[in-house]
Structure 1
Amino acid sequence: QRSVLHRQVLRSTAMQAVETLRLWTRPRQDNLACLVERHGEALYDAALAAGKGVIVAAPHHGNWELLNQWLASRGPIAIVYKAPEEAVGDEFLQLVRGGDNVRQVRAEGPAVRQLFKVLKDGGATGILPDQQPKAGDGVFAPFFGIEALTMTLVNRLAERTGATVLYGWCERIGPDMQFALHIEPAPPAVADPDPRVAATALNAGLERIARRDPSQYQWTYKRYTLRPPESGEVDPYATEEHPH
């Protein structure tokens, strides 16, 4: 069963790469036509209209680049991203992900402060919350039963600004670029003042989404390289005992 899932994940990863190239090279309206099902649009619009700011927590599930384009179609969006080490790579991402209504914000100290202003002004931001932060920049919380270093950015933004936190993802449901958009509320605990409580709640939601169709989750991303200091564990990817 694990080998079957492994093949499905590799196939899905390849499909996601091809889809993304198409999304980056076509007009936005053509891409939005790929959303043959839309669930929760009204929820997002209502949260935005409330004027308290919206945080969209978007896991690496399905095609997150399509979600970015849908978010931009609803209004201005500040998207948090990890900048490539090479300047040319960063310039490329600015080109293909940019456009009207999209502002890309680096996932680092000075730039992140912009997000607080965006939310306090009633705007929206998109965050990929299942990326492993640097050591010291997060807390360990369970993800699929394994302690994973989890970012606290969603928690800090939500707690300090009172913004609404929603999960968002675009799930593949058919051949040739057919997707379903999903927007759902995150549990209130993601804004808990205790970072571990908040991270545990955040990860529980991400895990639930990934379990909808495990083949569409980006298992190729090495989420567990950093281990709890007191655990004595080593990087599992350095051995043959991979977590998943």
Structure 2
Amino acid sequence: MPSLFRLISRLPLPLLHALGAVLGWCAFLASPTYRRRFLANAAQAGYSFAQVRAAVAHAGRMAAEAPRLWLHPRLPHCTVQGAECVEQAWVAGRGIVFLTPHIGCFEMSVQQGARLWAGAHGPFTILYRPARQPWLARLMETARSRPGIVAVPTSLQGVRQMLKSLRRGQAVGLLPDQVPPAGLGLWAPFFGRPAYTMTLAARLVQQTGAAVILARCERLPWGRGYQLRLQPLQAPLAAELEPAVAQINTAMEALIRQSPQQYLWGYARYKQPRGLPQAAPEGAA
């Protein structure tokens, strides 16, 4: 299997994106569970299937492009919009917490950031969840620790390493719409429905005074590469944990609405971690 991944990584990006689009539609048509979740999540955000049908193909492109991004020695073409907000944070001597939802090519977001700034400001630290298959776990650990990137596991040790990086004025990257294990999150609104949401992003900022930069890396048509769009959080993060978590969810919603056709609507965003009581519906006493 690792050999197959390496073979796929050598294919040109336009071909990978074309194959991925087919893969995405095959998965959508073959899995009723995935299809229902995709449609329900999009409807929760106020979108009809016609408005987000392109996201079906983009989910497949995400899978197809992964070997290319993990293993190819050269990164694809990527332009950057909004880099000045990152430069301003570096000038102020602050660490940076980059936040991106499951949209577009979030793998490319951190790789492009590291390519631009790791040389001058130190490596970017990211969390990853080790795969269950030993061969894939080894591959992911090696592949995600690209030049300028330090990948740490989702453990207490990994969190401590992220804190150290921020206190040194370096950067970390997180997907705050990833559902955390029970005990590591709070119920907070996401497109009007309670979703169990990680507290880690807010805690990192509150404990280190880091700047928050929102990132969205869009795929360009016909496999021409990517465009990374960066912007600061509109207002300082709340000092209290619960409103800070809700504020981050609101920021993620805004990013998704900027490019709903590339969001991973099939992700189980509203799943309930084991052993966790279900949240009360919005508006309940």
Q: TM-score, normalised by structure 2?
A: 0.74
> In the comparison of the two structures, how many residue pairs are matched?
228
Change (3 A) 1:152 1:6: same
Q: Once superposed, which parts of structure 1, at least 4 consecutive aligned residues long, lie more than 6 Å away?
A: none
Q: Which moved more, 1:84-93 or 1:166-175?
A: 84-93
Task: Indicate the residue corresponding to 2:146 in structure 1.
Answer: 99
Select which of 140, 150, 153 maps to 2:187. Answer: 140
Question: Is 1:21 the counterpart of 2:63 in the alignment?
Answer: no
Equivalent residue for 1:113? 160
Q: Return 5+ residue gaps in structure 1 as ranges.
A: 234-244
Match of residue 220 from structure 1: 266
The counterpart of 1:199, out of the listed 229, 239, 245, is 245
Q: Which moved more, 1:63-72 or 1:174-183?
A: 174-183
Contact kept? 1:120, 1:161, Cα under 8 Å: yes
| Aligned match of 1:237 | none
- Contact 1:189–1:198 (CA under 8 A) maintained in structure 2: no
Match of 1:238 in 2: none
Partner of residue 84 from structure 1, selected from 131, 140, 146: 131
Q: 1:127 to 1:232 in 2, by over 3 A?
A: closer
Q: Deviations over 1:124-153 (max 9, x none)?
A: 111111100111111111111111111111
- Structure 1 residue 64 corresponds to structure 2 residue 92: no
User: For the residues of structure 2 that align with 1:218 and 1:158, how far apart are their CA atoms?
Assistant: 26
- Normalized per residue, the structure richer in helix is 2
Please, which of 86, 90, 94 is the counterpart of residue 48 of structure 1? 90
**Structure 2: 5+ residue stretches without partners:** 1-46
Greater strand proportion: 1
If you compute each CA radius of gyration, which structure gives the higher value, 1 or 2? 2
Q: Displacement, 1:95?
A: 2.1
Task: Give % identity.
Answer: 32
Distance 1:187-1:82 versus aligned 2 partners, 3 A rule: farther
Which shows bigger deviation, 37-46 or 196-205?
A: 37-46
Shift of 1:21: 2.7
Cα–Cα, structure 1 residues 117 and 174, in superposed 2: closer, same or farther, change >3 Å?
same
